[in-house]
Structure 1
Amino acid sequence: MKIGILGATGYTGQELVRLLKQHPEAELVYLGTSSAAGQAYTEIYPHLYGQLPLVLEDEKEVPDLDVLFCALPHGLTAARTQEFLDRKIKVIDLGADFRLRQAQIYTDWYKLTHPAPHLIEQAVYGLPELKREQIKGKSLVANPGCYPTATLLALVPLLRAKLLRPQSIIVDAKSGVSGAGRGANLGTHFSEVNENIKAYGVAQHRHTPEIEQELSQAAGTEVKINFIPHLVPMIRGILATIYAEVQPGVEEADLRACWQQSYEGEQFVHLLPPGSWPQTKFAAGSNHAFLQLTLDQRTGRAVLVSAIDNLIKGASGQAVQNMNILFGLPEEMGLAGTGIWP
């Protein structure tokens, strides 16, 4: 397959390059950039020196491809997607343009009129463990956000099974600094982040409507959550701690059995044995997700914990997993590595 990447110089673009370089069915032929056309890719990422001879090209000059990964700021992918689809190029968008099913909600949260609302219905939300059959045969995939991936893997099976009270959900999530992207800004400056932890986007983070959309679909009723993300002084990883009241009569064994049934046979989602709690390092550098839960009998609240690598399962690895589904390949192709420890 001939593969191209728009936004190849960002962190998710670089992870796509790293993963696709070792994919036996992928041939990287195009790396697009808005700022570094003409430079060797290894000038931007020297750790690939001697392994990737590609030169960065202008984002406006996309050649004929089988699939194009778009790792661009919101609004930029949607403005060009019809052109790519008309050329029979499958599009996997790692941005936010096609995650939300209503253009007005996109406008409300992203403060931008949707550039291609007519394409929203053609897009599929690309979380393979929850949407595998819908992904097959599509040409436009909306790769989920990192926080939503960690959150939805934990909650969707339990809401589908009517085990949780939908209006009681609180999501407290922590992310490494790479989630903010490669661009320099004061909020991710070393001196600001090191020896520090802070909440941000409180009650207004743009992943909120994406999470609520998918939880509402799972629950069969409108779901609103409290979602509070935090920035912690590490490079990569997301740890989501989720609190939700259980329905009357629901026991911890019911919750655990639901997860086990939902993720039986899944290669990338791992339910840890009781008493073992997920850590971000379990998933670092891999496409794996780790889950654990308990039911606090005193409060009647379930506590769910989910850990992923925000750049891999939360972005580029999941995008490659989606590509494999689109082309009928084994989902683990190019993604078989485990986390890096220590």
Structure 2
Amino acid sequence: MTPRMTQALTLIALLALTSADHLMPGVRRIERAGSSTIHFPTPARPPQPPRRLQPHPQPQPLPLDGVGDEGAPDAVGLPADFDELDITTLNRLNDITNISDFAHLFDLLLPVEEDVLAGPAISSRFGGEAAPTEAIELAEMANCKPELVTVPLELPEERNAVYFPTCVRLEQCGGCCYGPLLTCRPTVTKVVRFKVLKTVIGSDANDLGSARRRGGGRRRRRRQNPSSYVEVEAVKHTACQCGCRLTEQDCNPAIHTYYEGECACVCKNSDEKRKCEEQNTTRYWDNDTCSCYCRKPSDCSSGQFFSQATCRCELLTARSGPGGLIGTDEVPSRRPSLPRRRKPVRVPLF
């Protein structure tokens, strides 16, 4: 468009706007004190489609150690009672040291660290805030492993003998194991030998006293105590592991069967145990002896005994032969009477 055409169009527009009746649609005249302005409308924008919010990417949980890309994480459900965990889960739990691994094992959500470690500001009595307190450290599990402890030496007992030293620091199994059925036990041990100084005291005191009584030794001589080295042995733990507190050696093979997965000695007569537990109001089962006993034994009068079969006092029954009266499952309190002795017979001597 040429400049002349632009000027012509502008002049036509001004002439058309001189009267209010000739205003174009959408054009307004604004009258102010001493001035008059014309407002042209801005072109309307075409309607835009509504914007859709894109969701933020969610952080993916870290995989557990020993778990591949395939399959779900190898997490363990949080039990209602930790004492009921099996031996396999307890061994995995006892290998954990920090809190993060514990949370990964049971799929727990850890609290925000700032809420735990940050404490309130402490103000001094002279005004102002005191120096910030030290940060609280996260506790770590004291796992079962060899650690230096004080071990007393097994020294021979001998009169007038003094030994040094009497104890040493040696690696021994220490730490805690999760669960009441497990304890920290050594798996590999080593015998260590030590030299200990042995000194005998008071050995020449008698010799010095006898010399003075003889009058041959007025000069005071230096007291000499013989000394020597003695070898002693101590056991050093080189490897440790959480194992069953109750071992197979603690069971009686005649009545027990040892189950390592349960860390328990189980009675072989399971039928008798079941019958005894059905009468738990009056009886109880003893796993050490694998026998059923009465809960409230009572003292019986003369001629009676307390029966574990009926849980009451029973009369003594008679039987033939020496021994007199005896009960079915108890020995009578009274000692059976002995036969009367005959009078001695005198034999004449020739």
**Which TM-score band (shorter chain)?**
under 0.3
Higher relative helix content: 1
Q: Which has the larger radius of gyration?
A: 2
Q: What TM-score comes out, normalization by structure 2 length?
A: 0.21
Structure richer in strand, relative to its length: 2
Query: Which is bigger in relative contact order (C-alpha 8 A, separation at least 6)?
Result: 1
TM-score (structure 1 length as normaliser): 0.21
